[in-house]
Amino acid sequence: MIALTEAPIDDAAVRRAVEGRAAGAVVVFHGTVRDATAGRRVRFLEYEAYPSMALAQLSRLAAEVRARFGLTGLACVHRLGRLGVGDAAVVLAVASPHRRAALDAVEDFVVRMKRDVPIWKKEHFEDGAVWVGSPADPQGTRTEATA
């Protein structure tokens, strides 16, 4: 299951998509909208995408991560549109015979998704809005640890 949606994500369905008898570990990651960025209060986020390209790149990334980490399953659903503080923006589930591979796969997938997939985030603050990664981004040059 690889999908983009404007509706709230059914995290239980994402988890079910990867469960199986070969899974010794299932890790579910919820990327949620936080209430502040670099000391500025976040009101809401907007996500936009180039859907056909984003889905193709998410599918390719999923296949690469599954193969690299020996996963038995990987599912990812990413929200588009307006999201409030606390909403899940992305739910990723991976299944593996062993926990280390599952945990490492989540990190690898999320880092590469944020870097390579054409999904764009606009943060709306009390005093304005910025596209994440733009020169106006209050986080400046982003590192993998802060993104």
CATH fold label, 2-131: Aldehyde Oxidoreductase; domain 3 (3.90.1170)
Which H/E stretch holds residue 7? Answer: none
In the chain, the amino acid numbered 75 is: A
Please tell me whether the overall predicted TM-score, pTM, comes out greater than 0.85 for this model: yes
Furthest CA-CA distance within the chain: 50
134: confidence class by pLDDT, cuts 50, 70, 90: low
143: confidence class by pLDDT, cuts 50, 70, 90: very low
Alpha-carbon gap, residue 13 to 131, rounded angstroms: 30
At residue 147, does pLDDT exceed 60? no
* Domain spans, the chain: 2-131
Write down the mean pLDDT value for the chain.
91
Strands 73-79 and 2-5, how do they pair? parallel
Alpha-carbon gap, residue 86 to 32, rounded angstroms: 6
